[in-house]
Structure 1
Amino acid sequence: MVLGKVKSFFVSYDCLNDSNVPVFASGDCVSGRVVVEVTGDIRVKSLHIHAKGLAKVRWTESRNAGSNTAYTQNYTEEVEYLNYRDILIGHDRGKRLLFKWATGRHEYPFSLELPQIPLATSFEGKHGSVRYWLKAELHRPWLLPMKVKKEFTVFEHIDINTPLLLSPQAGTKEKTLCCWFCTSGPISLSAKIERKGYTPGESIQIFAEIENCSSRVVVPKAAIYQTQTFYAKGKVKEIKQLVANLRGDALPSGKTDTWNGKMLKIPPVSPSILDCSIIRVEYSLMVYVDIPRAINLSLSLPLVIGTIPLHPFGSRTSSISSQCSMTMNWLGITLPERPEAPPSYSEVVREGQGPIESAVQEDPEGVLYSYIQEFRLQPPPLYSEIDPNPEHSCCPVEQRPDLCPSR
């Protein structure tokens, strides 16, 4: 008797949304089917599934040990969020029963409940990742097991309709330029945004005032940065990535520029990860003044990228934010013109890509899902490794405060 062959073997999920993307949250039921197609009669011992959720960090550093010798140190850390096993057909070890499958398609449903504890959002970074997957194993007599694995996405929901994330963010900074014994007037920067929490597809309204009393022509700009922080064995690795940016008009000496709600659109990005002990993903809006031959004057405002968008009438606990949100009508806002890449963040982050244009669905639950595939399938971003204690290059006077009479 000639046994048949396995034509196809795959895992299929039952999607919970209209975007046909398998996306789940803590406490959700992950269901689907393991499908096997055979071209002839085969004998099967068992069909197992194993669901796993794991946050993992890994990087390598080289160190000098003296006498021209060097060694590498590996830093790794893991956090397990899910570990589930089940037998769809078959028996435990010690039992020799065989099952016979006829030619055709065979489907075996599965179902498992994700833990109720907060789960880390699925993420892919340079030095770590958060991944969830389900693996199926088909065991047949006298043959090696066949294995297939398929990932699914988990989002730990962040509702931006909370008093903390609806509170306005603002700041003010000033910088005086000097070169040897010559001192010019100050450059001042004030910026404000209506709230701290946003979702992908929204545009941030930036209110700013830039006063240039120096002798140089400066350019106001704004950018969104993503900061990835990885922790392992007491060490910290930090990555900054440019997400989106815009450029204002050049500001001559003695002039003032005002931004009355300048728009900066948030492209498809991963939500903030704030509850994982080994990986954090945070965002910030940097409003800064590009100053020739000097360190930029910058103001950083923290952001949280959430998954549950702003309610149509905002929150009762934040009347100011509610009024701004209602007048903003962000679903109807068009994309700003594609900005040019600005200079680096604190002189260390290289130029990055501008925002990615995407349609925003009107269904609040669909806004997030419309971006899932985009940020998951984007090419690797431009990374820059940030020293926690950077030494900035500057002019001789900024290196020698004693030479500047204004200090």
Structure 2
Amino acid sequence: MDYIREFDIRLEREMYYAGEILVGHVVLDTVENFKLRAVRVVLRGKAHAEWKVVISGDRRTVKDDQYFLDDRAIIWGKDVPEGNVPILPRGLHQFPFRFQLPESSLPCSFESKPGYIRYYIKVTVDIPYASPPQGMKYFTIIGPHIDCMDEQYLKPMMGQDKRTTCCLCCEKGPVVLRSQLERSAYVCGESIKLRANIDNQGEEEVRLKVKLVQVNLEFERSGDELQMHFPITIATVPFRIPNSNQQPSIHYEVACEHVEGGIYIGPEFLLGQVYDGSSSQEARETAVLYRPVYVSVLRSSSSVM
């Protein structure tokens, strides 16, 4: 609008954990006095899923939305349709707001093509005689917090597998692998001590390989499961065990404090430059309006023998 020079939403931080207090303020810089009924602020957390399915030969799109966080506040004026409308004097105004995030384990922010989890602040400037200006500010939820010293994570984890190979009806082996972790939760930079016991009853030499994988699960409305695997690296204690060739798969939780930007960014958060008709073929940088961050484990270049 002509009499609003600046309208912005600013947060104290861009990342929050569940249970923290979200603090920010709305900036309005006006060039003249005008009637303003209220400034409304909404805090929301939204999950959206979108799938392409084929039903009887027809390709359809199935969508589903869920709001698991919805809090509102009026930071200026009153939310009444009748009565005298107050006047906001011209100048620079900053309206503070704060929201208490719930203590429950909020799902962390997530961006992917089939779906996303987003948290945002929506501000509406309620002007009675014009279309109310609106603004949105996205932020990231990191978590949930994991206390690796909690009793449920201090129990040792054990796994066992037995493999027998066949070649032209001749059995080889078997090879029995037993593995154990001291507990099921670790923090960034911590060494994971894995104990492996291999009983090789065959004649061939086998080797042990260990792989850490982060698995993210998404469920369609029909109950089908989509698994996405992300490699995750954590500082481990190197070891050498001869005559082993098994791959133990043990699930564990990692309490991470380090965060990194996500790879996938929704197209609505990419602001490119408009083609001006010039013949220049220089690469044009794309501005990223919002990039979610995820917990990550720092890579360590040093190793302990």
Q: TM-score when scaled to structure 1?
A: 0.55
Equivalence for 1:94: 82
Q: Deviations over 1:128-156 (max 9, x none)?
A: 33322211122446543322212233333
Match of 2:43, as an amino acid?
A
2: distance between equivalents of 1:7 and 1:205?
59
Q: Which amino acid aligns with 1:301?
A: I
Query: CA–CA distance in 1 between the matches of 2:15 and 2:164?
Result: 53
Distance 1:148 1:77 in 2: 21
Cα separation, 1, equivalents of 2:60 and 2:220: 15
Displacement after TM superposition at 1:125 (Å): 4.6
2:210 to 222, 227, 232: 222
Assess, with a 3 A threshold, how the Cα gap between structure 1 residues 245 and 22 changes in structure 2: closer, same or farther: closer
Alignment of 1:263-274 (within 5 A): none
Q: Of 69, 94, 98, which aligns to 1:107?
A: 94
Task: Give 3-state SS (helix, strand or coil) of 1:301's partner.
Answer: coil
8 Å Cα contact 1:75-1:232 kept in structure 2:
no
Q: CA deviation at 1:101?
A: 3.0
CA contact (8 A) 2:159 2:248 kept: yes
Residue 379 (1) aligns with residue 263 (2): yes
Distance 1:76 1:110 in 2: 30
- 3-state SS of 1:204 partner: coil
Tell me which of 275, 283, 302 is aligned to 2:251: 302
2:224 corresponds in structure 1 to 236
| Structure 1 position 231, deviation (Å) | 3.1
Aligned-residue CA RMSD in angstroms?
A: 3.3
- Which has more helix, going by share of residues? 1
Tell me, in whole angstroms, the C-alpha distance in 1 between the residues paired with 2:243 and 2:206: 11
Q: Post-superposition shift, 1:52?
A: 0.9
Distance 1:58 1:87, change over 3 A: same
Shift of 1:165: 0.6
Mapped contact 2:51–2:62 kept (Cα < 8 A): yes
Task: Provide the residue aligned with 1:182 in structure 2.
Answer: 170
Q: Which range is displaced more, 133-142 or 206-215? A: 206-215
Q: Within 5 A, what are the aligned runs for 1:4-23?
A: 5-15=3-13, 21-23=14-16
Q: Deviations over 1:198-253 (max 9, x none)?
A: 234434222224455556565432222222222343423222313236999998xx
User: In the alignment, what sits opposite 1:43?
Assistant: 34
- Identical aligned residues as a percent: 23
Q: Indicate which of 20, 25, 31 corresponds to 2:23.
A: 31
Q: Does 1:74 align with 2:65?
A: no
1: CA distance between counterparts of 2:166 and 2:127?
78
Give the deviation of 1:109 after TM superposition.
Answer: 0.9
Amino acid in structure 1 at the alignment position of 2:263: P
Does structure 2 retain, via aligned residues, the 8 Å contact 1:177–1:183? yes
For 1:164, what is the secondary structure of its paired residue?
helix
Query: Gaps spanning 5+ residues in structure 1: where?
Result: 16-20, 258-288, 290-296, 308-367, 382-407
Partner of 1:193: 181
Number of equivalenced pairs:
260
Whole-Å separation in 2 of the counterparts to 1:249 and 1:217 = 17
Deviates more, 1:106-115 or 1:239-248: 239-248
Partners of 1:214 and 1:299 in 2: CA distance: 19
* Counterpart contact for 1:187–1:213, Cα < 8 Å: yes
Distance 1:201 1:11, change over 3 A: farther
Structure 2 unmatched ranges of 5 or more? 266-305
1:120 partnered with 2:84: no
